[in-house]
Structure 1
Amino acid sequence: MNDGTTPLYIACYKGHLEIARLLLEASADINQARSDGCTPLFVACLKGHLEVAKLLSSYGASRAATPFGTPEEAANSRGHADLAAWLVASRGWTPLAHLETLTAARALSLLRSGASLHEGEPTPLQRAAGGEGEAAALIRRAAAPWSPASHLLFPAAARARAALLVRSIYEIHERYHLDSAGATNGIAALDFGHCVLGFAITRETQ
Protein backbone atom coordinates (compact mmCIF):
# COMPACT_ATOMS: atom_id res chain seq x y z
CA MET A 1 0.00 0.00 0.00
CA ASN A 2 1.11 3.60 -0.68
CA ASP A 3 0.88 4.54 3.00
CA GLY A 4 3.38 1.85 3.96
CA THR A 5 0.82 -0.50 5.49
CA THR A 6 2.25 -4.04 5.72
CA PRO A 7 0.47 -7.40 6.10
CA LEU A 8 1.73 -7.53 9.69
CA TYR A 9 0.29 -4.09 10.42
CA ILE A 10 -3.11 -5.18 9.06
CA ALA A 11 -3.05 -8.40 11.12
CA CYS A 12 -2.27 -6.38 14.25
CA TYR A 13 -4.95 -3.80 13.46
CA LYS A 14 -7.54 -6.56 13.01
CA GLY A 15 -6.35 -8.61 15.98
CA HIS A 16 -5.55 -11.69 13.88
CA LEU A 17 -3.16 -13.41 16.28
CA GLU A 18 -2.27 -16.51 14.27
CA ILE A 19 -1.73 -14.57 11.06
CA ALA A 20 0.58 -12.20 12.94
CA ARG A 21 2.41 -15.23 14.36
CA LEU A 22 2.91 -16.74 10.92
CA LEU A 23 4.19 -13.46 9.53
CA LEU A 24 6.66 -13.05 12.38
CA GLU A 25 7.84 -16.63 11.98
CA ALA A 26 8.47 -15.74 8.33
CA SER A 27 10.69 -12.83 9.46
CA ALA A 28 8.28 -9.95 8.87
CA ASP A 29 9.78 -6.64 9.98
CA ILE A 30 8.20 -6.22 13.40
CA ASN A 31 8.90 -2.49 13.72
CA GLN A 32 8.12 -1.37 10.18
CA ALA A 33 5.80 1.60 10.57
CA ARG A 34 3.36 3.13 8.15
CA SER A 35 4.32 6.39 6.49
CA ASP A 36 2.67 8.26 9.37
CA GLY A 37 4.91 6.49 11.92
CA CYS A 38 2.28 4.16 13.39
CA THR A 39 3.81 0.76 14.25
CA PRO A 40 2.22 -2.70 14.51
CA LEU A 41 2.57 -2.67 18.31
CA PHE A 42 1.07 0.80 18.61
CA VAL A 43 -2.00 -0.09 16.57
CA ALA A 44 -2.46 -3.39 18.44
CA CYS A 45 -2.46 -1.45 21.71
CA LEU A 46 -4.75 1.22 20.30
CA LYS A 47 -7.27 -1.46 19.34
CA GLY A 48 -6.88 -3.37 22.61
CA HIS A 49 -5.56 -6.60 21.15
CA LEU A 50 -3.78 -7.93 24.25
CA GLU A 51 -2.63 -11.29 22.87
CA VAL A 52 -1.31 -9.68 19.70
CA ALA A 53 0.61 -7.13 21.79
CA LYS A 54 2.08 -9.96 23.87
CA LEU A 55 3.18 -11.76 20.73
CA LEU A 56 4.81 -8.64 19.29
CA SER A 57 6.57 -7.97 22.57
CA SER A 58 7.88 -11.53 22.66
CA TYR A 59 9.57 -10.84 19.31
CA GLY A 60 11.19 -7.70 20.68
CA ALA A 61 8.86 -5.05 19.27
CA SER A 62 10.00 -1.52 20.09
CA ARG A 63 7.95 0.35 22.68
CA ALA A 64 9.42 3.71 21.72
CA ALA A 65 7.11 6.64 21.13
CA THR A 66 5.51 7.07 17.72
CA PRO A 67 4.22 10.44 16.46
CA PHE A 68 0.99 9.48 18.24
CA GLY A 69 2.58 8.52 21.56
CA THR A 70 3.78 5.27 23.11
CA PRO A 71 1.97 1.92 23.01
CA GLU A 72 1.20 2.32 26.73
CA GLU A 73 -0.36 5.71 26.07
CA ALA A 74 -2.41 4.23 23.24
CA ALA A 75 -3.82 1.50 25.48
CA ASN A 76 -4.62 3.97 28.24
CA SER A 77 -6.23 6.45 25.88
CA ARG A 78 -8.76 3.84 24.76
CA GLY A 79 -9.43 2.43 28.20
CA HIS A 80 -7.77 -0.94 27.63
CA ALA A 81 -6.88 -1.36 31.30
CA ASP A 82 -5.75 -4.99 31.16
CA LEU A 83 -3.44 -4.31 28.24
CA ALA A 84 -2.06 -1.13 29.81
CA ALA A 85 -1.36 -3.00 33.06
CA TRP A 86 0.40 -5.81 31.18
CA LEU A 87 2.57 -3.32 29.28
CA VAL A 88 3.68 -1.79 32.57
CA ALA A 89 4.36 -5.17 34.19
CA SER A 90 6.40 -6.41 31.22
CA ARG A 91 8.54 -3.31 30.64
CA GLY A 92 11.77 -5.07 31.66
CA TRP A 93 11.16 -8.41 29.99
CA THR A 94 13.38 -9.85 27.29
CA PRO A 95 11.77 -11.99 24.57
CA LEU A 96 12.68 -15.17 26.48
CA ALA A 97 10.73 -13.96 29.53
CA HIS A 98 7.39 -14.07 27.69
CA LEU A 99 6.57 -17.55 28.99
CA GLU A 100 2.83 -17.34 28.46
CA THR A 101 3.30 -16.51 24.80
CA LEU A 102 6.32 -18.58 23.80
CA THR A 103 5.84 -21.91 22.11
CA ALA A 104 8.31 -24.64 23.00
CA ALA A 105 9.83 -24.34 19.52
CA ARG A 106 10.42 -20.61 19.87
CA ALA A 107 11.80 -20.96 23.39
CA LEU A 108 14.22 -23.59 22.08
CA SER A 109 15.21 -21.34 19.19
CA LEU A 110 15.91 -18.43 21.55
CA LEU A 111 17.94 -20.63 23.89
CA ARG A 112 19.98 -22.10 21.04
CA SER A 113 20.65 -18.64 19.59
CA GLY A 114 22.14 -17.48 22.90
CA ALA A 115 19.31 -15.65 24.67
CA SER A 116 20.39 -14.82 28.22
CA LEU A 117 18.69 -16.46 31.18
CA HIS A 118 19.80 -13.63 33.47
CA GLU A 119 19.00 -10.38 31.66
CA GLY A 120 15.87 -8.34 32.14
CA GLU A 121 13.66 -7.54 35.12
CA PRO A 122 12.52 -10.03 36.12
CA THR A 123 14.87 -12.37 34.27
CA PRO A 124 13.62 -15.32 32.21
CA LEU A 125 14.98 -17.70 34.83
CA GLN A 126 13.20 -15.87 37.63
CA ARG A 127 9.93 -16.04 35.74
CA ALA A 128 10.47 -19.70 34.88
CA ALA A 129 11.28 -20.71 38.46
CA GLY A 130 7.63 -21.13 39.37
CA GLY A 131 6.21 -21.18 35.88
CA GLU A 132 4.21 -23.87 34.15
CA GLY A 133 4.39 -25.03 30.58
CA GLU A 134 7.03 -26.23 28.15
CA ALA A 135 8.83 -22.90 27.75
CA ALA A 136 9.38 -22.54 31.51
CA ALA A 137 10.57 -26.14 31.74
CA LEU A 138 13.07 -25.60 28.90
CA ILE A 139 14.48 -22.50 30.60
CA ARG A 140 14.93 -24.34 33.88
CA ARG A 141 16.71 -27.19 32.06
CA ALA A 142 18.92 -24.70 30.19
CA ALA A 143 20.04 -23.19 33.52
CA ALA A 144 21.47 -26.51 34.71
CA PRO A 145 25.12 -27.45 34.05
CA TRP A 146 25.88 -28.80 30.61
CA SER A 147 25.22 -32.51 30.09
CA PRO A 148 24.53 -34.66 27.04
CA ALA A 149 20.82 -34.40 27.89
CA SER A 150 20.85 -30.59 27.89
CA HIS A 151 23.30 -30.17 25.00
CA LEU A 152 20.63 -29.05 22.52
CA LEU A 153 19.57 -26.16 24.78
CA PHE A 154 22.98 -24.46 24.62
CA PRO A 155 24.07 -21.81 22.09
CA ALA A 156 26.03 -22.81 19.01
CA ALA A 157 29.47 -21.83 20.37
CA ALA A 158 28.94 -23.82 23.55
CA ARG A 159 27.65 -26.84 21.61
CA ALA A 160 30.68 -26.74 19.33
CA ARG A 161 33.07 -26.60 22.29
CA ALA A 162 31.27 -29.45 24.01
CA ALA A 163 31.43 -31.58 20.86
CA LEU A 164 35.17 -30.91 20.53
CA LEU A 165 35.87 -31.82 24.14
CA VAL A 166 33.70 -34.94 24.04
CA ARG A 167 35.53 -36.12 20.91
CA SER A 168 38.83 -35.51 22.69
CA ILE A 169 37.71 -37.62 25.64
CA TYR A 170 36.67 -40.47 23.35
CA GLU A 171 39.95 -40.29 21.46
CA ILE A 172 41.89 -40.55 24.72
CA HIS A 173 39.75 -43.53 25.68
CA GLU A 174 40.38 -45.26 22.36
CA ARG A 175 44.12 -44.63 22.54
CA TYR A 176 44.83 -45.61 26.12
CA HIS A 177 42.12 -48.10 27.16
CA LEU A 178 42.20 -50.96 24.69
CA ASP A 179 41.99 -54.11 26.84
CA SER A 180 38.97 -55.30 28.83
CA ALA A 181 40.20 -53.85 32.11
CA GLY A 182 41.05 -50.63 30.35
CA ALA A 183 37.58 -50.53 28.82
CA THR A 184 36.09 -50.40 32.29
CA ASN A 185 38.46 -47.62 33.20
CA GLY A 186 37.58 -45.93 29.94
CA ILE A 187 33.87 -45.89 30.76
CA ALA A 188 34.71 -44.35 34.11
CA ALA A 189 36.87 -41.79 32.34
CA LEU A 190 34.01 -40.90 29.99
CA ASP A 191 31.61 -40.47 32.90
CA PHE A 192 34.18 -38.32 34.67
CA GLY A 193 34.70 -36.33 31.51
CA HIS A 194 31.00 -35.56 31.21
CA CYS A 195 30.95 -34.38 34.82
CA VAL A 196 33.90 -32.10 34.18
CA LEU A 197 32.29 -30.72 31.04
CA GLY A 198 29.34 -29.64 33.15
CA PHE A 199 31.68 -27.05 34.65
CA ALA A 200 33.82 -26.38 31.56
CA ILE A 201 30.91 -25.62 29.22
CA THR A 202 28.81 -22.55 29.92
CA ARG A 203 26.13 -20.79 27.92
CA GLU A 204 28.56 -17.89 27.44
CA THR A 205 31.38 -20.10 26.05
CA GLN A 206 33.26 -18.17 23.37
Structure 2
Amino acid sequence: MAPPNTTITLTRALTRDQQARRERLVKAALDLAAEGGYTSVTMHDVADRAGVARATVYRYFTSKDHLLSEVSALWIGQVIDELTASELPADPAGRLAGMLCRLVEVSAENRLLTEAILQAATSPDPSAEASHQTFAYTITIITDTALGAPEDEAARAHFRDLQTVLGHVLLSGLLSLSHRGRSTEEVQELMRTAVRLVL
Protein backbone atom coordinates (compact mmCIF):
# COMPACT_ATOMS: atom_id res chain seq x y z
CA MET A 1 0.00 0.00 0.00
CA ALA A 2 1.33 3.46 -0.91
CA PRO A 3 2.14 5.84 1.97
CA PRO A 4 -0.22 8.80 2.57
CA ASN A 5 0.08 11.83 0.27
CA THR A 6 1.67 9.71 -2.45
CA THR A 7 0.58 10.26 -6.04
CA ILE A 8 0.41 7.13 -8.17
CA THR A 9 0.36 7.57 -11.93
CA LEU A 10 -1.00 4.75 -14.06
CA THR A 11 0.03 4.60 -17.69
CA ARG A 12 -1.31 2.51 -20.53
CA ALA A 13 -0.28 1.98 -24.11
CA LEU A 14 -2.15 4.07 -26.63
CA THR A 15 -3.88 2.54 -29.62
CA ARG A 16 -2.80 3.70 -33.07
CA ASP A 17 -5.82 6.03 -33.30
CA GLN A 18 -5.16 7.46 -29.85
CA GLN A 19 -1.51 8.07 -30.69
CA ALA A 20 -2.50 9.81 -33.92
CA ARG A 21 -4.99 11.98 -32.02
CA ARG A 22 -2.36 12.87 -29.43
CA GLU A 23 0.14 13.83 -32.14
CA ARG A 24 -2.53 15.96 -33.81
CA LEU A 25 -3.07 17.83 -30.54
CA VAL A 26 0.65 18.48 -30.14
CA LYS A 27 0.91 19.73 -33.71
CA ALA A 28 -2.09 22.02 -33.19
CA ALA A 29 -0.50 23.45 -30.03
CA LEU A 30 2.80 23.95 -31.84
CA ASP A 31 1.08 25.86 -34.65
CA LEU A 32 -0.82 28.05 -32.18
CA ALA A 33 2.36 28.80 -30.21
CA ALA A 34 4.23 29.68 -33.40
CA GLU A 35 1.42 32.05 -34.40
CA GLY A 36 0.81 33.81 -31.10
CA GLY A 37 3.11 32.63 -28.34
CA TYR A 38 2.23 31.23 -24.94
CA THR A 39 -1.06 33.07 -24.45
CA SER A 40 -2.41 31.79 -27.77
CA VAL A 41 -2.25 28.19 -26.63
CA THR A 42 -5.49 27.37 -24.82
CA MET A 43 -6.98 23.92 -24.42
CA HIS A 44 -10.13 25.18 -26.16
CA ASP A 45 -8.25 26.49 -29.20
CA VAL A 46 -6.04 23.41 -29.38
CA ALA A 47 -9.16 21.22 -29.42
CA ASP A 48 -10.72 23.35 -32.16
CA ARG A 49 -7.54 23.33 -34.26
CA ALA A 50 -7.20 19.56 -33.90
CA GLY A 51 -10.90 18.95 -34.56
CA VAL A 52 -11.67 17.21 -31.28
CA ALA A 53 -13.80 17.89 -28.19
CA ARG A 54 -12.16 19.91 -25.43
CA ALA A 55 -12.49 16.99 -23.00
CA THR A 56 -10.34 14.94 -25.37
CA VAL A 57 -7.37 17.26 -24.80
CA TYR A 58 -7.56 16.58 -21.06
CA ARG A 59 -7.50 12.84 -21.65
CA TYR A 60 -3.94 13.21 -22.91
CA PHE A 61 -2.62 16.33 -21.17
CA THR A 62 -3.26 17.49 -17.62
CA SER A 63 -2.49 21.15 -18.31
CA LYS A 64 -1.40 23.64 -20.91
CA ASP A 65 2.21 23.43 -19.68
CA HIS A 66 2.07 19.64 -19.94
CA LEU A 67 0.95 20.00 -23.55
CA LEU A 68 3.65 22.56 -24.26
CA SER A 69 6.26 20.21 -22.84
CA GLU A 70 5.35 17.83 -25.66
CA VAL A 71 5.51 20.71 -28.14
CA SER A 72 8.99 21.44 -26.81
CA ALA A 73 10.11 17.83 -27.31
CA LEU A 74 8.75 17.76 -30.87
CA TRP A 75 10.25 21.07 -31.98
CA ILE A 76 13.61 20.67 -30.24
CA GLY A 77 13.89 17.18 -31.71
CA GLN A 78 13.49 18.66 -35.18
CA VAL A 79 16.06 21.37 -34.45
CA ILE A 80 18.56 18.85 -33.05
CA ASP A 81 18.16 16.70 -36.18
CA GLU A 82 19.03 19.73 -38.29
CA LEU A 83 22.01 20.68 -36.09
CA THR A 84 23.54 17.22 -36.03
CA ALA A 85 23.09 16.81 -39.80
CA SER A 86 24.63 20.17 -40.72
CA GLU A 87 28.23 20.76 -41.75
CA LEU A 88 30.20 21.88 -38.71
CA PRO A 89 33.72 23.29 -38.10
CA ALA A 90 36.48 20.73 -37.64
CA ASP A 91 37.62 21.83 -34.17
CA PRO A 92 35.51 20.82 -31.17
CA ALA A 93 35.13 24.36 -29.77
CA GLY A 94 34.10 25.63 -33.19
CA ARG A 95 31.55 22.83 -33.55
CA LEU A 96 30.08 23.53 -30.12
CA ALA A 97 29.87 27.29 -30.68
CA GLY A 98 28.48 26.74 -34.17
CA MET A 99 25.69 24.46 -32.95
CA LEU A 100 24.74 26.77 -30.08
CA CYS A 101 24.74 29.81 -32.36
CA ARG A 102 22.55 28.03 -34.88
CA LEU A 103 20.14 27.04 -32.10
CA VAL A 104 19.94 30.71 -31.10
CA GLU A 105 19.31 31.66 -34.73
CA VAL A 106 16.50 29.13 -35.14
CA SER A 107 14.99 30.28 -31.84
CA ALA A 108 15.05 33.90 -33.06
CA GLU A 109 13.40 32.88 -36.32
CA ASN A 110 10.64 31.24 -34.26
CA ARG A 111 10.51 33.81 -31.47
CA LEU A 112 6.88 33.29 -30.41
CA LEU A 113 7.27 29.51 -30.33
CA THR A 114 10.49 29.90 -28.36
CA GLU A 115 8.73 32.17 -25.88
CA ALA A 116 5.95 29.60 -25.37
CA ILE A 117 8.39 26.72 -24.91
CA LEU A 118 10.52 28.68 -22.44
CA GLN A 119 7.44 29.68 -20.45
CA ALA A 120 6.53 26.01 -20.09
CA ALA A 121 10.15 25.01 -19.37
CA THR A 122 10.32 27.45 -16.45
CA SER A 123 6.83 26.66 -15.14
CA PRO A 124 6.45 25.34 -11.57
CA ASP A 125 3.69 23.01 -12.84
CA PRO A 126 4.87 19.43 -12.03
CA SER A 127 3.33 18.22 -15.29
CA ALA A 128 5.82 20.39 -17.19
CA GLU A 129 8.81 18.45 -15.85
CA ALA A 130 9.29 16.95 -19.31
CA SER A 131 10.11 20.45 -20.59
CA HIS A 132 12.95 20.75 -18.09
CA GLN A 133 14.24 17.33 -19.15
CA THR A 134 13.95 18.23 -22.84
CA PHE A 135 16.05 21.33 -22.33
CA ALA A 136 18.73 19.33 -20.48
CA TYR A 137 18.62 16.72 -23.26
CA THR A 138 19.24 19.47 -25.84
CA ILE A 139 22.51 20.49 -24.19
CA THR A 140 23.54 16.85 -23.78
CA ILE A 141 23.06 16.08 -27.48
CA ILE A 142 24.82 19.28 -28.59
CA THR A 143 27.85 18.75 -26.36
CA ASP A 144 28.09 15.03 -27.15
CA THR A 145 27.94 15.77 -30.89
CA ALA A 146 30.43 18.61 -30.75
CA LEU A 147 32.93 17.26 -28.23
CA GLY A 148 32.35 13.53 -28.01
CA ALA A 149 31.35 11.95 -24.71
CA PRO A 150 34.40 11.25 -22.47
CA GLU A 151 35.11 7.71 -21.32
CA ASP A 152 36.69 7.97 -17.85
CA GLU A 153 34.66 8.93 -14.79
CA ALA A 154 36.64 12.06 -13.84
CA ALA A 155 36.27 13.46 -17.35
CA ARG A 156 32.55 12.60 -17.34
CA ALA A 157 32.05 14.52 -14.08
CA HIS A 158 33.78 17.57 -15.59
CA PHE A 159 31.67 17.14 -18.74
CA ARG A 160 28.45 17.15 -16.71
CA ASP A 161 29.56 20.37 -15.04
CA LEU A 162 30.26 21.88 -18.46
CA GLN A 163 26.79 20.84 -19.67
CA THR A 164 25.15 22.36 -16.59
CA VAL A 165 26.92 25.70 -17.05
CA LEU A 166 26.21 25.87 -20.78
CA GLY A 167 22.58 24.91 -20.15
CA HIS A 168 22.14 27.82 -17.76
CA VAL A 169 23.87 30.23 -20.14
CA LEU A 170 21.74 29.04 -23.06
CA LEU A 171 18.52 29.34 -21.04
CA SER A 172 19.47 32.85 -19.94
CA GLY A 173 20.37 33.81 -23.51
CA LEU A 174 17.13 32.49 -24.98
CA LEU A 175 15.08 34.20 -22.28
CA SER A 176 16.81 37.49 -23.04
CA LEU A 177 16.15 36.91 -26.73
CA SER A 178 12.45 36.11 -26.38
CA HIS A 179 11.48 38.24 -23.35
CA ARG A 180 13.92 41.15 -23.24
CA GLY A 181 14.45 41.92 -26.88
CA ARG A 182 18.18 41.19 -27.10
CA SER A 183 19.39 40.69 -30.64
CA THR A 184 20.34 37.35 -32.16
CA GLU A 185 23.92 38.57 -32.57
CA GLU A 186 24.22 39.53 -28.89
CA VAL A 187 23.00 36.15 -27.71
CA GLN A 188 25.24 34.31 -30.19
CA GLU A 189 28.22 36.28 -28.89
CA LEU A 190 27.22 35.27 -25.37
CA MET A 191 27.32 31.62 -26.43
CA ARG A 192 30.73 32.00 -28.11
CA THR A 193 32.07 33.63 -24.95
CA ALA A 194 30.67 30.84 -22.78
CA VAL A 195 32.28 28.17 -24.98
CA ARG A 196 35.60 30.01 -24.90
CA LEU A 197 35.52 30.24 -21.11
CA VAL A 198 34.43 26.66 -20.35
CA LEU A 199 36.83 25.11 -22.85
TM-based fold match above 0.5: no
Relative to total residues, which structure has the larger helix share, 1 or 2?
2
* Larger RCO, structure (CA 8 Å, separation 6 or more): 2
TM-score normalised to the size of structure 1?
0.31
TM-score, structure 2 as length reference:
0.32
